[in-house]
Structure 1
Amino acid sequence: MDELVDQVDERDRVVGVVERGEAIRGRLLHRIATIVCRDADGRFLVHRRADATPLFPGQFNWMLGGAVDTGESYEAAAARELTEELGVVTRPRFVLKFLCEGVISPYWLGLHEVVVTGPVRPDPSEVAWHAWVTPAELSALAARDSFVPDAREALNRYRALNSA
């Protein structure tokens, strides 16, 4: 059985429960929690997704994350995903939420941020490669075709919020 997610409406209100695969196939709105990791020097963690991941295999991303389980908050999902994918246990700070059209399916994206001060232990089934990059290096990566398109939209919104 596929993981269960809350189906939500255009205002992010729960209207039902569906399997995640069904939400994607049916283009039903659901919730995704993401985390942006920075280090003490302000660099961003970027990674290349593992080739075996079902969505965007082998592409670069500046966010970690995944589906918000049914009944779970964005913040709890972000903390869970951070632990699962990087081995980092902490509570990320909520930054913004927006309705993302998505390349594969539309969804509500909750973006969180955390400053990582210790080592990371990426899950090799999720993360094939990672590095800490400057904002300029992140911009160069985001311009590549191999960068996850939805992550590019989130980066633009993050920058707009942080430049205001």
Structure 2
Amino acid sequence: MSELVDRVDEQDRVLAVVDRAEAIREGWLHRVATIVCRDPAGRFLVHRRPRDSSRFPGQYNWLLGGAADVGESYEQAAARELLEELGVRAAPRFVLKFRCAGAISPYWLGLHETVVTTAIRPDPYEVPWHTWLTASELESLAQGPEFVPDGREAFIRYRAVGGGTPGM
């Protein structure tokens, strides 16, 4: 089954509706919504991607999320992805948006965050393993070769705007 997404331009304006696989293959920009999850102690949720995933199999990531559906805002997509992947209902807070070069293809990445105060129920097909790490532990892990490269870029940008500091 194909996944339809909004193809967007360099200013993130919608151009057309396309198949996501085609957007990736052709290098067309589309929208991806991500969520950073923190616990009340400020630690970050980190997970391993499934070993049979077509993208970054078995690698660590600190971002949850995926492509925004046609006509869906970044915020709506982030909330939907959070529910699908962790079973958590929340309204993630927008932090930043940037044009990600992407290790596979370029896209606009909307980064959100939320503090998770309820039990999580990870979808084992999306999040087969997870743990909570401090900011310094995450920073160390993000520098390693087993970390999703796009997640590394997002982490650098997140820290540059003050993400991960008290009050965020």
TM-score (structure 1 length as normaliser): 0.98
Percent identity of the aligned residues? 67
Count of aligned residue pairs for this structure pair: 164
SS at match of 2:144: coil
Partner of 1:112: helix, strand, or coil? Answer: strand
Contact 1:52/1:125, CA 8 A, preserved across alignment: no
In angstroms, what is the RMSD of aligned CA positions?
1.1
Tell me the equivalent position of 2:103.
Answer: 103
1:81 matched residue in structure 2: 81
For the Cα contact (< 8 Å) 1:38–1:44, is it kept in 2? yes
Report the counterpart of residue 153 of structure 2 in structure 1.
153
State the one-letter code of the partner of 2:9.
Answer: D
Secondary structure, counterpart of 1:137 in structure 2: helix
Q: Which amino acid aligns with 1:151?
A: G
AA of the residue aligned to 1:52: D
Name the structure 2 match of 1:2: 2
Kindly indicate whether the alpha-carbon contact (under 8 Å) linking 1:49 and 1:59 is maintained by their aligned counterparts in 2: yes
Distance in 2 between residues matched to 1:119 and 1:49, nearest whole Å: 20
Q: What's the counterpart of residue 42 of structure 2?
A: 42
Question: Alpha-carbon deviations, 1:107-141, whole Å to 9, x = none?
Answer: 00000000001111111101121000000110111
Q: Deviations over 1:5-56 (max 9, x none)?
A: 0000000000001000000000000000000000101000000011122211
Runs of 4+ more than 6 Å apart: none
Measure, in 2, the Cα distance between the counterparts of 1:2 and 1:137.
Answer: 38
Distance 2:53 2:112 in 1: 22
Task: Report the Cα distance in structure 2 between the residues aligned to 1:54 and 1:67, rounded to whole angstroms.
Answer: 15
Question: In the alignment, what sits opposite 1:29?
Answer: 29
Unaligned runs of 5+ in 2: none
- Which SS does the other structure have where 1:24 is aligned? helix
- Give the C-alpha shift of residue 66 in structure 1: 0.1
Give the AA of the match of 2:121.
R
Any stretches of 5+ residues in structure 1 without a counterpart?
Answer: none
